[in-house]
Amino acid sequence: MEAKTTKGYDAAEVLRQEDDLDRWRFASEIVDVILATPPEWSARIGVFGKWGEGKSTVLRFAETMLREKGSVVFTFSPWAIQDWNDLWESFGSDLSEALDTAGIQIDHSWMKMLKSSTKWLESTGVQQLAENAAGYWGKEKLYNAAFGALSRWLKYDGDQVRMIREKLGGQRLVVLIDDLDRCAPELIPQLLLSLRELLDLPGFTFILAFDDEVIAESLVHKNPAWVGSIFLEKILDFRFHLPEVTAKQKERLTLKAITKYCNFVPAESIKSIQDLLPSNPRKLKSLIRTLAAIKPQLIRHDPDELNWVDIWLAQMLRLESHRFFERLLKGKTLDAEISLYELHAKRSRNKQNDEDASLRGLMSEIGIEEPALIIRIRQLAIAARARASMQFRYMCELALRPHTVTWKEFRLLNEAWQENRQPALLNNWISQHAIDRAVNTEDVETELFEAMIGRRNQLLGSAAEANSVLEAESQLQHAGALLEMIGQFFLDLRKLNASRFQKLYDQAAYWIGFRKNPHDRMQREEEEQMLLRTLASASDELSVAILENLLPDVWDIDMGDGTIPLKKSLREKCYNLVAPKAAKASLSFLMQVDGMRNLSERERFRGAKHCLFDPNSPLRKGDLRNEFLALIRSGLDNHTVYVNVRDYLQMLVRGLQRGTEIDFVGNEKLTELLQDDEFVRCLWQTATSREIQYRMQVSFIQARQSLIDARASEDALPLTEELNARILEEEWREAAKDAPSSAESVSLNQPSESVSKN
């Protein structure tokens, strides 16, 4: 029977030259024991080791050596078999095939006996008997009816065994049983006992590879009276424990696996993380294969973009627990657990304790309870805190959420665009890149802009740090080209939005003080012109969102660098251009169903709130003022506008009462707004133009008083008949409380029933 040499990523090694962990020498020691055993004796040998430590490789090596010595060898893998009868039918078939291959003629009548036994066991006539017998004797004894066919055929002193021994001569028949610890737990005790009692045949050697701790646990679970280690001592003649992998062996295996699976990984990259690499060979090779899996993402980067320490750390965390890795990248968890912004800061003992507690809580949250895994994840997290760079998140995301546009891809695009500075080139690249990466064009646009603005910031920084004027001018020239590219992206491709404008504006404001050199000053002028052209192109609706970042309340704080006048001038120019358009768009809130109710939500629509409530907004001047007042008056006939005007009034009053109801528009600005008598009169007239239900009348009266207390003109807030009547009713009610001398006199002083109902 030929040796099985299945190949694949996880296949056991079969050739000596493939041995990186000195397993060949270990296997030769086992073979020496087998060959030294007298031919008329049986032998049972255990090879112990954890999953992935190389037990299968040892069996393959032993098989190679034994075949060279003339032994008959075959492999039996019971781990996929769940039934006792199937187990021994499979064993008998493998044995028969091995003997046939070795040229040893045997009697195959055992198959008929086995089938007869099985047929009897499964026959309808004995089904109930079988169930009753199983309950009385146990299924193990009942199943021996089927096993008996094979044991009778291989009787210790029978003709079949005698014939096999004669054919073998001085050689042995060796059965390799792999992955016993993955076998169905209920079959393990029977299989081991069978090897000990029923297959204790002269010239037969069984080599069993398994994790002795797992098997011991299965035995105790089956019968608490069995002590796993003692049970195995009675079954096995020899026990070999795989030695731990040494640091040198691990390094050799790692380098060989890198060469085999991913030769694009720099071999020297393991030096900084070698102590963290898994000692388990299978796990180590699996780690390296994960790097091979993300090769399509890695080759999208230039070599200087990749931080290999970060990549190794990220892949090790991912290998240990994919769920933990995903949770780590969610929100700000990575920054909190790895403390990216404190990587090189000295940690206090309390800080370390807090970090450990947080890490344990995170693992508990996703159900990680295995002590060894908890220790391993903690080891990697501590290492990441000390060794990872600021690129760590990016390197983690390569495997799960790879970026749509890399620096390498942007560099190639930029080089092509420099040769042909046309918007169509950008547009075509965006469309094609979305197809190539199988992503939405919106994602490509977002990351392309981030690359443009980020690269430009690097160039401006390099220009500021340059030693020579010539070097600075070169950097500024490239920065100017990128500004032109951004302009095409905004204006020609119409990809402007509020957040993108804000990033360009912030960049211009940051470098606004760099204008001593002529080229610096030219760059600042170009930035200002680009901002103004961009704002001129913005729609009215977009202007509302853009305005939020140009409001006076967010103007820059004086940092003592003398740039405040420059920043204020730039912001005012932008504000004066965008505010009128934003103000016009803000009027739409008065025409939408629940428009003003939507504005009541905090931290939303700040630009619209500024236009509607700030006394200095464009709605207070010229044609926009007239349009605003006319729209408010239209509420006399338009129900939707009426409802919004009423809600507008309520927001104004709450702002006066609470101080911060309308975000940044405080009492001082609202009080100034109320000095506009025409506006107040118009607002009040529309809000009170329709009959007010009885229970709401007091709230209108109180709102009016709040406006008057805030120095609004009382003449601009005339009382309607129903509100005046309600005031009288409330005054009479208060008078009745103060003078309760006579129920009759109170009754005489109350208003008529018709007024009360109103």
What is the model's pLDDT at position 354? 63
Residue 415 structure tokens: 């080089």
Lowest mean pLDDT, pick from 248-252, 601-605, 673-677? 601-605
pLDDT for the residue numbered 685: 95
The answer to whether residue 196 scores a pLDDT higher than 90 is: no
1 pLDDT band (50/70/90 cuts)?
Answer: very low
Read off the pLDDT band of 459 (50, 70, 90): very high
pLDDT of 553 over the 50 cut: yes
Predicted pLDDT at 559? 57
Residues 410-419: what's their mean pLDDT? 96
How far is CA 262 from each of CA 127, 293, 302, 395, rounded to the nearest angstrom?
58, 9, 17, 17
pLDDT of residue 191: 77
197-206, 311-320, 526-535: least confidently modelled range: 197-206
* Residue 40 pLDDT exceeds 70: yes
Quick one: average pLDDT of 114-142?
45
| Contact indicator for 546, 590 with CB cutoff of 8 Å | no
Tokens linked to 248: 């040198």
Lowest-confidence pick of 244-258, 353-367, 423-437, 483-497: 353-367
Band of the pLDDT at 268, cuts 50, 70, 90? very high
Q: Whole-angstrom Cα distance, residue 78 to residue 88?
A: 9
Confidence class of residue 95 from pLDDT cuts 50, 70 and 90? confident
Nearest-5° angle of CA 381, CA 384, CA 387? 155
Residue 482 has pLDDT above 90, yes or no: yes
Residue 77 pLDDT level (bands cut at 50, 70, 90): confident
**Ramachandran area for residue 302 (φ above 0: left; ψ -120 to 50: alpha; else beta):** beta
Task: Report the percentage of the chain scoring pLDDT > 90.
Answer: 50
Which own/partner pairs from 711-715 qualify as long-range (CB within 8 Å, at least 24 positions apart)?
Answer: 711/671, 711/674, 711/675, 712/674, 712/675, 712/680, 713/677, 713/680, 713/681, 715/677
pLDDT at 134: 38
What is residue 2's predicted lDDT score, i.e. its pLDDT? 47
346 pLDDT more than 50: no
Query: Where residue 602 falls among pLDDT bands split at 50, 70, 90?
Result: confident
Q: How confident is the model at residue 261 (pLDDT cuts 50, 70, 90)?
A: confident
> At 353, is the pLDDT very low, low, confident or very high (cuts 50, 70, 90)?
low
Question: Average pLDDT for residues 37-42, to the nearest whole number?
Answer: 86
Average pLDDT over residues 714-719: 94
DSSP per-residue codes, 264-283: TS-GGGGTTTGGGS-SSHHH
Q: What is the DSSP letter of 138?
A: -
pLDDT of the residue at 750 = 43
pLDDT of 752 strictly over 60: no
Kindly state the percentage of the chain with pLDDT values over 70: 83
pLDDT at 39: 83
Residue 298: how many other CB atoms lie within 10 Å: 21
Find where tokens 């508990």 sit. 364
Residue 492 pLDDT class (50, 70, 90 cuts) = very high
Tell me the average pLDDT across 696-719.
92
pLDDT-derived band at 688 (thresholds 50, 70, 90) equals very high
Confidence at residue 10, expressed as pLDDT on a 0 to 100 scale: 53
What is the chain's mean pLDDT, rounded?
84
Q: State residue 737's pLDDT score.
A: 79
Query: What's the pLDDT score for residue 148?
Result: 65
Residue 193 is predicted with a pLDDT of 77
pLDDT, tens only, 636-682? 999 999 999 999 999 899 888 876 557 667 788 888 999 999 999 99
Provide the pLDDT for residue 348: 52
What is the sign, positive or negative, of the torsion defined by CA atoms of 676, 678, 681, 687?
Answer: negative
Tokens 């790097």 — which residue?
291
Lowest-pLDDT range of 47-51, 476-480, 546-550, 739-743: 739-743
Q: Determine the Cα–Cα distance for residues 137 and 442; give it in Å rounded to an integer.
A: 71
Q: Encode pLDDT of 689-703 as tens digits.
A: 999 999 899 999 999
SS (H, E, C) 693-739: CHHHHHHHHHHHHHHHHCCCCHHHCCCCHHHHHHHHHHHHHHHHHHC
Distance CA 216, CA 227 (A): 7
Q: Summarize pLDDT for 166-186 with one digit per residue, the tens.
A: 877 778 889 998 888 777 777
